[in-house]
Amino acid sequence: MNKKFFILILISMTLSLSGIIAVQTYFIKSNLDKNREEFALSISKVLTSVSDDIEKREYSEYVYKFNELINSGVNIDTTAINNLYFISENNGSNETIIYRNGIIEESLKLPSFLDINIDSINITRISNEREKNFFSLSDPEDIRQYTPEQLLLRIGEISRSKEILFETAYKDLAKRNPIHRRVSSDEIESLLNNALLDNKINLNYEFGIFDNELLTRVQSSNFDFYANEGQDKIFTTTLFKDNENNSDFKLSIYFPNLRNQLLSSSSLVSFDFEVVILSVIFTLIIVIVYVSTISQLLKQKKIAQIKSDFINNMTHEFKTPIATINLVLDSIKNPKIIGNKDKVIGYLNMIKDENNRMNDQVENVLRISRLDKNELDIEKTNLDLHNLINNAVGHLDLIMKNKNGKIELDLNSKYSFIKANQTHFTNAIINIIDNAIKYSDNNPIIKISTRNIDKILNEKDIILSISDNGRGMSKDVQRKIFYKFYREQSGNLHNVKGHGLGLAYVKKIVNYHKGEISVNSIVGKGSTFEIKIPVNNNNTI
């Protein structure tokens, strides 16, 4: 894949995904804000409804008690009653006119049906002249000039349609009562339960009434305003407004762990909320697919690069023996050579060696391919690992001498028999040692050792350790050396012969023998390969 085209695809996909996430985030945030606003509006309606119900209930009780009082007759202690009332209403001006005539000294004792801390309400009035009193039903200021007692007395004498007079008097008198006598916790809880259910809200809540910002005794059992402050939102409404439309009382409610309750409450999961959840899920799927796609693209790009390097390396590996064979054939054609039997035989041996070399390269490629497809038939027998190590070292003895290197053996394992294929396991050891030789600049020193480690149930493993004093590898190279076709490079692609299949083949063989291989390396100090493989039946040497 062209590098510029790959970068263009990567940028396009990233921008597209970023746009999708931005739109989805905006959509989700908008829906969550909408749900929060709708929930707050519903709670506000609930609190307003509860407040109105409480005030209506109290007002109805006052009206009922006062009507009973009027209908049954009040206890009036009168010294002289010569007062005649005449009431007329002016519909045009919305005024009521009360005419009084005579002298009256009266004392009215109204029983304390208002539930305040006095035995009775005393109303005394002395009149010795004719009075004409005007008051407007639509003017609150006109009403406020009378005392509550006067208004209560007047409302008993005039039409029931003028309830505003009674309501004004009732509010002034009712506020003398302490809050716990006007409403109870049980009443508020009952009203809240009904109102919340009417709005399809089934959540745990706590409530309390505040008087001038101080919590009163009217509260739910677990109400803790200060502990909850700053955590869950507090919803508040006024309670028992006076004639000035003001109130010292506030009914407050909050929902502990509101977010968790909203998520777990099926009754509050609206269609929009379900859409939000689905949107989050699909967005996560898109992100996962995006990451997976980018990962695959990068992996394929690396594989393509590795395969390209492999082809170049294989071409180089084949080119050398082919060139050698062509050179030898040209030499044999020389009349001076063709008549010399010994030289011809020597050249023919060179052709055979180069041919075998090419054949080995082809076999390596075919072998790793068949291992990948599990088509390679590997027969395993009981073998001594120490013997396999010695055989591998023997194959490389000449190469080590040419490099002025040496191999140090420390084979001390008591249990060294393993179940393995002699050819393939020997080749695996040879590949590791050959790799150590290739990546050692001068005088390679390779140390090979074995040791046993115990496993459970008296079973044992044998550890084969191969260390060198070569160039070493970085952490990044260590993660990749067992990949097919991978070869560490240092500038020139062909500075080390090979095609990157040696260690990949080693790992395949070790895994096939139910073993493990690992590497530990420090740049400039060398590398250590360790193969751990199960001991077969605890056979001893």
Nearest-angstrom CA–CA distance, 409 and 386:
10
By three-state DSSP, how is residue 489 classified? coil
- For residue 466, is it within any domain? yes
- For residue 106, is it within any domain? yes
Query: Do 276 and 260 belong to one domain?
Result: no
In 3D space, the residue among 382, 320, 371, 372 whose CA is nearest the CA of residue 350 turns out to be: 320
| Residue of higher predicted confidence among 19 and 230 | 19
DSSP states of 198-242: HTT-----EEEEEETTEEEEEE-TT--HHHHTTTSPEEEEEES--
Tens digit of each residue's pLDDT (9 = 90 or more) over 436-449: 888 887 789 999 99
pLDDT of residue 161: 44
Q: Averaging pLDDT over each range in 270-274, 319-323, 527-531, which range is the top one?
A: 527-531
- For residue 423, is it within any domain? yes
Query: Do 498 and 389 belong to one domain?
Result: yes
Q: What value does the mean pLDDT of the chain take?
A: 75
In 3D space, the residue among 475, 476, 392, 387 whose CA is nearest the CA of residue 435 turns out to be: 392
Nearest-angstrom CA–CA distance, 121 and 149:
8
- For residue 539, is it within any domain? no
Tens digit of each residue's pLDDT (9 = 90 or more) over 241-299: 877 778 888 998 888 877 766 665 544 544 456 676 777 788 888 888 888 888 888 88
pLDDT of residue 539: 58
Whole-angstrom CA distances from 321 to 94, 316, 327, 438 are 124, 9, 10, 19
**Residue 531 banded pLDDT, cuts 50, 70, 90:** very high
- For residue 65, is it within any domain? no
What average pLDDT does this structure show over 305-320? 74
In 3D space, the residue among 484, 509, 507 whose CA is nearest the CA of residue 314 turns out to be: 484
Of 269, 304, 322, which marks where a domain is finished? 269
Alpha carbon 98 to its chain's center: 76
pLDDT of residue 387: 94
Residue 316: give its domain's CATH number: 1.10.287.130
pLDDT of residue 497: 52
| Residue of higher predicted confidence among 32 and 480 | 480
pLDDT at 155 over 60: no
Tens digit of each residue's pLDDT (9 = 90 or more) over 14-27: 888 888 888 878 87
Alpha carbon 537 to its chain's center: 50
| Residue of higher predicted confidence among 285 and 155 | 285
pLDDT of residue 79: 38
pLDDT of residue 132: 43
Is 518:467 a contact under the CB 8 Å cutoff? no
What average pLDDT does this structure show over 215-238? 77
What average pLDDT does this structure show over 389-395? 90
Residue 444: give its domain's CATH number: 3.30.565.10
Tens digit of each residue's pLDDT (9 = 90 or more) over 106-119: 343 444 444 544 44
Query: Do 321 and 249 belong to one domain?
Result: no
| Residue of higher predicted confidence among 296 and 305 | 296
Query: Do 96 and 201 belong to one domain?
Result: no
Q: Write out the two tokens for 68.
A: 């009973």
What average pLDDT does this structure show over 316-336? 81
- For residue 450, is it within any domain? yes
Query: Do 108 and 157 belong to one domain?
Result: yes
3 state SS for 257-322: CHHHHHHHCHHHCCHHHHHHHHHHHHHHHHHHHHHHHHHHHHHHHHHHHHHHHHHHHHHHHHHHHH
Contacts of 297 (CB under 8 A, 6+ apart): 1, 6, 9, 10
**Residue 182 banded pLDDT, cuts 50, 70, 90:** confident
Share of the chain above pLDDT 70, in %: 69
Please report where in the chains the tokens 């009036």 appear, as a residue: 76
- For residue 63, is it within any domain? no
Is 261:255 a contact under the CB 8 Å cutoff? yes
User: What is the extent of the structural domain holding 409?
Assistant: 378-534
The lowest-confidence range among 182-196, 213-227, 304-318, 328-342 is: 304-318
Query: Do 202 and 349 belong to one domain?
Result: no
H helix or E strand, kind and range, residue 124: strand 120-127
pLDDT of residue 390: 93
- For residue 69, is it within any domain? no
pLDDT of residue 221: 84
Q: Averaging pLDDT over each range in 151-165, 172-186, 386-400, which range is the top one?
A: 386-400
Quick one: DSSP state of residue 243?
T
Query: Do 416 and 527 belong to one domain?
Result: yes
Q: Write out the two tokens for 316.
A: 């180089």
The helix-helix angle for 3-72 and 163-174 (nearest 10°) equals 100
Nearest-angstrom CA–CA distance, 243 and 324:
116
Tens digit of each residue's pLDDT (9 = 90 or more) over 116-153: 444 444 433 333 344 444 444 445 455 445 554 454 44
Tens digit of each residue's pLDDT (9 = 90 or more) over 460-485: 899 999 999 988 888 888 888 887 76
Query: Do 395 and 434 belong to one domain?
Result: yes
Of 240, 269, 298, which marks where a domain is finished? 269
Of 269, 284, 301, which marks where a domain is finished? 269
In 3D space, the residue among 528, 530, 532, 540 whose CA is nearest the CA of residue 514 turns out to be: 532
Query: Do 390 and 259 belong to one domain?
Result: no
**Strand ranges inside 385-486, DSSP E:** 406-411, 417-420, 445-454, 460-467
Number of domains in the chain: 4
Tens digit of each residue's pLDDT (9 = 90 or more) over 52-84: 998 888 888 877 777 776 666 555 443 333 333
Query: Do 243 and 340 belong to one domain?
Result: no
Query: Do 170 and 195 belong to one domain?
Result: no
pLDDT of residue 335: 82
Query: Do 509 and 448 belong to one domain?
Result: yes
Rounded to two decimals, the pTM is 0.44
pLDDT of residue 434: 86
